[in-house]
């Protein structure tokens, strides 16, 4: 995904150079007492800048001892602020624009809008709107392509997905896939149950067309899960949820975390909201395979709104506190958690370091999406998408392309 480069001219042919000082900067998996330098929408090497231009920074900001980390990347989010990416498609473009601006308050600088199982016509209408777009100060967070969660899933593990839209077997040709979805060019991730007939054929075709395949909403045993990975899947959708529980004779999809029979790295999403996944399960996952953990919120339309009746796709959902369920049942229906709160909870309950927790929302999802040359890191030459946080992962300011797109009222003294 190419990144917008913003030029702010200072004199002839020279771009604005900004220095952020008095801070800890996350680089190379450690927090360093360092400065962050930004120009042309990218992180720059201050030494190279000085010796090549003989210039100091045009602006310097005091970060008051706070922490600078890469912008958070969300790969599974159904909506928020009253917006649902699977419904009200007539107003989706307007709703998406509003969502992109609001989500930055939680440190998210790029996200994959997620659609739950829907009829074919809905994908034809929504996917052109959910197109990949760069983030910037005007539009907000980057759209990194859609996550299509279903409808090729096991009906027994559909969760909040409408039963009438579930497809019982995969599509075994490019022509059939395009007939169902339209162009797949705006699909970044697709969740598929690998045990379905023709599912592995579908995974192979999608991967060849640059779609990341994830296994989930599935009754797969360990052999079926490994088969899905070995034909191209590189992600697991919300580990532990909507899948067979771990069993010592057949660990199912959970067993992928320690499998020696897969031929590629397989990341896994984990909802660290304190509702979907028990703290002991968080610890088991992290201690088994820390380098592949990806924190997701799986947030739905009620995120940011509070208690009451809301929707996810065509399903009615009731929210009470931090818990969202399909109305009239105890079936979990996504979450109302924010990314920064999930990072904090993951760190606390897994016992990992702040750096390890932040990596699960920055470095690892960027690696999954194959965009770590620009995102998920603060190395020189990468996009200046970053977040200023405190030690409890409260978001104080969010920057996209070096521009401040959100600043907390609690961040007193920082003029942006």
Record the tokens describing residue 76, joined without a space. Answer: 């599974």
Is residue 171 predicted with pLDDT exceeding 80?
Answer: yes
* The predicted structure's pLDDT at residue 160: 86
* The predicted structure's pLDDT at residue 415: 59
Q: What is the pLDDT of residues 244-291, one digit of tens each?
A: 999 999 999 999 999 999 999 999 999 999 999 999 999 999 999 999
Longest dimension (CA), the chain: 69
- Separation of alpha carbons 103 and 98, rounded Å: 9
* The predicted structure's pLDDT at residue 307: 85
**Do 213 and 232 form a contact (C-beta atoms < 8 A)?**
yes
What is the secondary structure of 115-163 as a DSSP string? E-S--HHHHHHHTTTT--B--BTTTBSEE--EEEE-SSS-GGG-TTS-G
- Separation of alpha carbons 189 and 392, rounded Å: 30
Between 135 and 52, residue with greater pLDDT: 135
- Separation of alpha carbons 320 and 330, rounded Å: 12
- Separation of alpha carbons 126 and 161, rounded Å: 17
Between strands 67-70 and 386-389, the pairing is antiparallel
* The predicted structure's pLDDT at residue 110: 98
- The stretch 160-165 carries a mean pLDDT of 93
Is residue 180 predicted with pLDDT exceeding 80?
Answer: yes
Provide the annotated active-site residues.
298
Compute the chain's Rg from CA coordinates. 21
* The predicted structure's pLDDT at residue 357: 98
Record the tokens describing residue 127, joined without a space. Answer: 């996917």
Is residue 99 predicted with pLDDT exceeding 60?
Answer: yes
* The predicted structure's pLDDT at residue 2: 33
* The predicted structure's pLDDT at residue 414: 66
pLDDT band at 314 (very low <50, low <70, confident <90, very high): confident
Place of tokens 């030029």: 7
* The predicted structure's pLDDT at residue 335: 87
Is residue 63 predicted with pLDDT exceeding 90?
Answer: yes
C-alpha distances in Å from residue 381, one per residue of 41, 63, 176, 320: 9, 22, 41, 44
Q: What is the pLDDT of residues 350-388, one digit of tens each?
A: 999 999 999 999 999 999 999 999 999 999 999 999 999
- The stretch 159-174 carries a mean pLDDT of 95
Of 64-68, 79-83, 320-324, least confident by mean pLDDT is: 320-324
Is residue 162 predicted with pLDDT exceeding 60?
Answer: yes
Q: Could you tell me the pTM of the whole model?
A: 0.93
- The stretch 145-171 carries a mean pLDDT of 96
Q: What is the mean pLDDT of the chain?
A: 92
Is residue 39 predicted with pLDDT exceeding 80?
Answer: yes
Is residue 10 predicted with pLDDT exceeding 50?
Answer: no
pLDDT band at 51 (very low <50, low <70, confident <90, very high): low
- The stretch 113-142 carries a mean pLDDT of 97
CA angle 104, 110, 114 (to 5 degrees): 105
**b (16+ CB within 10 A) / e for 184-221:** bebbbbbbbbbbbeebbebbbbbbeeebbbbbbbbbbb
Q: What is the pLDDT of residues 203-241, one digit of tens each?
A: 999 999 999 999 999 999 999 999 999 999 999 999 999
* Selection from 149, 169, 173 nearest residue 79 by Cα: 149
In sequence order, the 6+-apart residues with CB closer than 8 A to the CB of 112 are 74, 75, 76, 77, 143, 144, 145, 146, 147, 188, 189, 369
- The stretch 136-144 carries a mean pLDDT of 97
Secondary structure tally for the chain: helices H, strands E: 10, 22
**b (16+ CB within 10 A) / e for 226-262:** bbbbbbbbbbbbbbbbbbbebeeeebbbbbbbebeeb
In sequence order, the 6+-apart residues with CB closer than 8 A to the CB of 41 are 3, 4, 5, 6, 383, 384, 401, 402
**Do 330 and 366 form a contact (C-beta atoms < 8 A)?**
no
- Separation of alpha carbons 52 and 64, rounded Å: 29
């Amino acid at each position: 995904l190419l990144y917008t480069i913003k030029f702010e001219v200072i004199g002839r042919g020279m771009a604005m150079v900004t220095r952020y000082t008095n801070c800890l900067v996350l680089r190379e998996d450690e927090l360093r007492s360092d400065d962050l330098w930004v120009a042309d929408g990218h992180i720059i090497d201050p030494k190279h800048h000085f010796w090549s231009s003989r210039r100091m920074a045009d602006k310097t900001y005091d970060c008051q001892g706070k922490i600078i980390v890469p912008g958070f990347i969300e790969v599974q989010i159904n909506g928020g602020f009253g917006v649902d990416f699977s419904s009200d498609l007539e107003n989706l473009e307007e709703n998406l624009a509003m969502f992109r601006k609001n989500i930055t308050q939680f440190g998210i600088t790029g996200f994959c809008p997620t659609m739950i199982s829907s009829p074919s016509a809905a994908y034809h209408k929504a996917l052109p709107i959910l197109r990949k777009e760069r983030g910037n100060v005007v539009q907000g967070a980057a759209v990194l392509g859609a996550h299509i969660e279903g409808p090729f899933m096991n009906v027994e593990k559909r969760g909040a997905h409408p039963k009438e839209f579930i497809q019982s077997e995969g599509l075994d040709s490019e022509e059939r896939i395009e007939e169902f979805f339209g162009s797949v060019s705006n699909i970044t991730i697709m969740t598929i149950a690998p045990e379905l007939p023709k599912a592995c054929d579908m995974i192979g075709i999608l991967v060849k067309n640059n779609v990341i395949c994830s296994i989930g909403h599935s009754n797969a045993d360990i052999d079926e899960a490994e088969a899905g990975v070995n034909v191209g899947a590189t992600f697991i959708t919300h580990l532990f949820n909507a899948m067979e529980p771990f069993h010592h004779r057949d660990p199912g999809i959970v067993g992928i975390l320690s499998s020696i029979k897969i031929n590629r790295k397989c990341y896994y999403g984990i909802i660290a909201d304190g509702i979907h996944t028990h703290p002991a399960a968080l610890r088991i996952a992290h201690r088994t395979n820390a380098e592949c953990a990806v924190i997701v919120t799986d947030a739905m339309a009620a995120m940011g709104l509070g208690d009451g009746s809301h929707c996810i796709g065509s399903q009615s959902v009731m929210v009470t506190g931090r818990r969202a369920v399909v109305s009239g049942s105890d079936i979990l229906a996504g979450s109302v958690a924010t990314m920064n709160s999930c990072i904090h909870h993951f760190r606390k309950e897994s016992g990992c370091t702040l750096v390890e927790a932040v990596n699960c929302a920055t470095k690892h999802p960027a690696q999954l999406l194959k965009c770590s040359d620009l995102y998920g890191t603060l190395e020189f030459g990468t996009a200046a998408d970053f977040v200023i946080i405190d030690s409890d992962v409260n978001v104080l300011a969010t920057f996209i392309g070096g521009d401040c797109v959100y600043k907390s009222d609690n961040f007193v003294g920082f003029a942006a």
